[in-house]
Structure 1
Amino acid sequence: MTIEARAPKVFSGWNQGRGEASLADVHRTVKVSGNVWRRAAAFVGPGYLVAVGYMDPGNWATSLAGGSKFGYALLTVALVSNIMAIVLQSLCARLAIASGRDLAQACRDAFPRPVAWVLWAMAELAIIATDIAEVVGTAIGLNLIFGIPLEIGVLITALDVFLILYLQRVGFRWVEALVVALLAVIAACFIVQIAMADPVWGDVIRGFAPTTEIVTNPEMLYLALGILGATVMPHNLYLHSGIVQTRDYGNSIPEKKEALKFATIDSTVALMFALCINAAILILAAATFHAAGQTNVAELGEVHSLLAPMLGLAIAPTLFGIALLCCGINSTVTATLAGQIVMEGFLNIQLAPWLRRLITRAIAIIPAAAVTIYFGESGTAQLLILTQVVLSLQLSFAVFPLVMFTADKTKMGALVAPIWLIAIAVFIAVVIAALNVKLLYDFVL
């Protein structure tokens, strides 16, 4: 029986069939069976792939810049951004499980072709911006630990295509296992570094309280939007709606409702982990650099060189470099998967898996490599922060369609989002759009 024949029912609200299943070579390959605990465990994984995008090297740059310049004040932005992410990612899982479509396929099916092509171009631009951050971060990590020049490090990042191909051949769970293992290394590195920095925990707690200065101070708003763009990332919305369909959860309504519950728990727990990492990066910068009067530290290489004299231990910069490298590897893996989902979903192409991944990777890494090689080590912080602001500006082009689809009963059937959830999602979408308008207004003036 073909994948299409096993596909969930196509609701009348869609204009056309979805085409080939999302990530067809691993579609419905993870079995969901056994007692409730085994079924719940089968859904653990996609959330952590999504969480990787919430702690990528671009996020490091914005968090380090925010922590060194404004202390703990922007912790509230990290918290609010994470809450937004939890809501939006739960909608992605709902869309995928209810309709059998990822977000890219849904846009292609629901909108006229010109609109879908514009959204595809925006999604590709977001993935290119994402990849620039990942390529830069991985290359810097290789440079800090092994002394490999940035130009060579950029080329090494292209090898993730072959890593993904190999791991998916032995099973998608191996991709998830790699990501979770690297996340554990990142967490261990930051636990040690935070213990060394010994922040003032009272100030940390107060940093989670909102302040109007974030909106009134253009420089703080720029960094806040950078954190927002680095936290709630457009490519993650496409990614989650694709990889959740690797689970063979069945097609009946009760099975789909259970799948939605487990998928939401998975993504929520993973995103809370991502919040801890993001907060740790900002707290490290605030406790070391801001406290010492170093308010303009944002270059990842500069952070690496300053940690040892400030914390008094030679191991501190090594831990930072290891965490950065693990983060970069994880991010390039997930960005490549997101690029494949976007290209396949919007364009409905059918190519061999290795060729699809090579093309989607090339679309992103060629401009990323060109920009990285041109800028070199100097200016990487400004470049990373700029990519995150670009992502923030692209976010509405993914969020508004997602909210529209999940609120439409003709498209979602019995799994249509409840009114209270849609109200929260609409509020989030409007806030993101309003902040972006404010950023553009300040930039023009």
Structure 2
Amino acid sequence: MEENKQNRAWRKEKTSNSLHEVFSSVPIPENGSFKKKFMAYVGPGLLIAVGYMDPGNWATDIAGGAQFGYTLLSVILISNLFAIVLQHLSVKLGIVAERDLAQACKDHFHPVVNFILWIFCEIAIAACDLAEVIGSAIALNLLFGIPLSWGVVITIIDVFLILFLQSRGFRYIESIVGGLIFIIFVAFFYEIFLSKPEIFPMLKGLIPQKEIITNPSMLYIAIGILGATVMPHNLYLHSSIVQTRNYPRTDEGKKEALKFASLDSSLSLMLAFVINAAILIISAATFHTSGNKDVADINDAYMLLTPLLGTTLASIFFGIALLASGQNSTLTGTLAGQIVMEGFLSIRLKPWVRRLITRLIAIIPALIVSILYGEKGTAELLVFSQVILSMQLSFAVVPLVMFTGSKAKMGEFANKTWLKILAWAISIIIIILNLYLLKETIFP
């Protein structure tokens, strides 16, 4: 009798991935120490963590901190814990099955279903790129006075940056990303030092409050934070780039790779949590406590930091970190776009063509809104892009949880019972919150 479709094993043949052809595998020392082996696996987690600290996060965290103080810190924490679990599953799929999530979907689902999933994923990538376009344009405007509309157009230049970095190798990209993350971390450490947040209200904010669900305005931003934190395209990306490590393709080799890659992922995401929490804490300590609760966008935050904190360095550090954040996220968005298109459709485009298409899709709405509505319109579009990301999340999470829980597909590496329950619980929570948001958006 033929196996149930949901539980059937992978096909024997597997579609190759151009990223693995472009980037030679990073060697893993066979008899090295724990530290040496771990350092060989460090990198993919940082690339994933970038998606959790992009300009979209800034918009939702600033709005949440200014309006509701430290209350939404719990949402950032819970979202980050969700992310750690889901990215672990993504790592497991890539290492054990040697497939990225897009290839796994193509193996399993009907072509029509795959096409729909691909469309949803492309929408998510476009929404993410929209946030990066707006974030970079705002940073250029704040630091150099370049008009928003021109800043949006200038972001096309990063197509050439991507091409240059891809020609240098995967480790080079990881090093650049790590350096930019360090800049962001230092900037916000300095901002927190200046803002002097209250410790006890901050700790209380880590405990979930019922008001987050009952207050529609708070729920809207909370789901925006969820969409900005757990990004659907990151699940596709991570399952691919973990395969750039040259670990032994044996059961023992996969177990070791899974251990180190998951550690890399979890530590990187905890760093992302610290940065996201720092943005909301600075916003709450600087704006909410001073009565500036209507600060809802990055521009307002930048303008008020200097008078409220008493130094122009606060605003400069803020702007530099924002620019670094936008450029960092550009790298991962491009890689994810290649993986998704190749995995679902087996279509290979030159990196610059793929990047240009994605960027143009993002630039058009950003340019129209920046010209017609200026700063306020782009800020609202930035938050809305994160809600779109959250709405697409279920279509990536459900297949991932389903595949990694299948004994036929994953063998002894299939999710244990406790992990299955946890993963499905996270999926259901995400689905329910998004359905509730949809209802509140259509029928407020």
Q: Please, what TM-score do these two structures have when normalized by structure 1? A: 0.94
Distance, in Å, in 2 between the alignment partners of 1:110 and 1:330 is 33
Q: 2:369 touches 2:377 (CA, 8 Å); kept in 1?
A: no
Q: 1:27 touches 1:245 (CA, 8 Å); kept in 2?
A: no
- Kindly provide the amino acid, as one letter, of the partner of residue 212 in structure 2: I
- Kindly provide the amino acid, as one letter, of the partner of residue 318 in structure 2: F
Distance 1:61 1:360, change over 3 A: closer
Any stretches of 5+ residues in structure 2 without a counterpart? 1-6
Q: Deviations over 1:300-335 (max 9, x none)?
A: 111111111111111111111011011011011111
> Match for residue 64 of structure 1?
62
Distance, in Å, in 1 between the alignment partners of 2:358 and 2:302 is 32
Within 5 Å, which residues of 2 pair with 1:35-434? Answer: 35-36=32-33, 37-434=35-432
Q: Deviations over 1:243-294 (max 9, x none)?
A: 1111111211111111111110001000000000000000011001100111
Any stretches of 5+ residues in structure 1 without a counterpart? 1-10
Distance 1:309 1:384, change over 3 A: same
> Match for residue 4 of structure 2?
none
Q: 1:58 touches 1:385 (CA, 8 Å); kept in 2?
A: yes
Instruction: Using the TM superposition, give the Cα deviation of residue 360 of structure 1 relative to its aligned residue in structure 2, in angstroms.
Output: 4.5
Q: Which moved more, 1:50-59 or 1:404-413?
A: 404-413
Distance, in Å, in 1 between the alignment partners of 2:156 and 2:362 is 10
What SS does the corresponding residue of 2:52 show, helix, strand or coil?
helix
- Kindly provide the amino acid, as one letter, of the partner of residue 191 in structure 1: F
- Report the aligned-residue RMSD: 1.7
Q: Deviations over 1:405-425 (max 9, x none)?
A: 101122122322222112111
> Match for residue 9 of structure 2?
13
What SS does the corresponding residue of 1:340 show, helix, strand or coil?
helix
Distance, in Å, in 2 between the alignment partners of 1:17 and 1:367 is 40
Q: Deviations over 1:353-394 (max 9, x none)?
A: 444444454455555555555543232221111111111111
Instruction: Using the TM superposition, give the Cα deviation of residue 127 of structure 1 relative to its aligned residue in structure 2, in angstroms.
Output: 0.7
- Kindly provide the amino acid, as one letter, of the partner of residue 17 in structure 1: E
Q: 1:253 touches 1:414 (CA, 8 Å); kept in 2?
A: no
Q: How many residues align?
A: 435
Distance 1:375 1:33, change over 3 A: farther
> Match for residue 5 of structure 1?
none
Distance, in Å, in 1 between the alignment partners of 2:363 and 2:12 is 32
Distance 1:367 1:338, change over 3 A: farther
Distance 1:293 1:352, change over 3 A: closer
Q: Which of the numbers 24, 29, 34 marks the counterpart of 1:33?
A: 29
- Kindly provide the amino acid, as one letter, of the partner of residue 317 in structure 2: L
Distance, in Å, in 1 between the alignment partners of 2:276 and 2:120 is 26
Q: 2:130 touches 2:363 (CA, 8 Å); kept in 1?
A: yes
Q: 1:72 touches 1:204 (CA, 8 Å); kept in 2?
A: yes
Q: Which moved more, 1:15-24 or 1:115-124?
A: 15-24
Instruction: Using the TM superposition, give the Cα deviation of residue 160 of structure 1 relative to its aligned residue in structure 2, in angstroms.
Output: 2.5
Q: Which moved more, 1:30-39 or 1:422-431?
A: 30-39
Distance, in Å, in 1 between the alignment partners of 2:417 and 2:355 is 38
What SS does the corresponding residue of 2:167 show, helix, strand or coil?
helix
- Kindly provide the amino acid, as one letter, of the partner of residue 99 in structure 2: R
Q: Deviations over 1:200-234 (max 9, x none)?
A: 11110111011111111111111100100100111
- Kindly provide the amino acid, as one letter, of the partner of residue 20 in structure 2: A
Distance 1:429 1:12, change over 3 A: closer
What SS does the corresponding residue of 1:277 show, helix, strand or coil?
helix
Identity percentage of aligned residues: 55
- Kindly provide the amino acid, as one letter, of the partner of residue 16 in structure 2: E
Distance, in Å, in 2 between the alignment partners of 1:68 and 1:105 is 42
Q: 1:63 touches 1:281 (CA, 8 Å); kept in 2?
A: yes
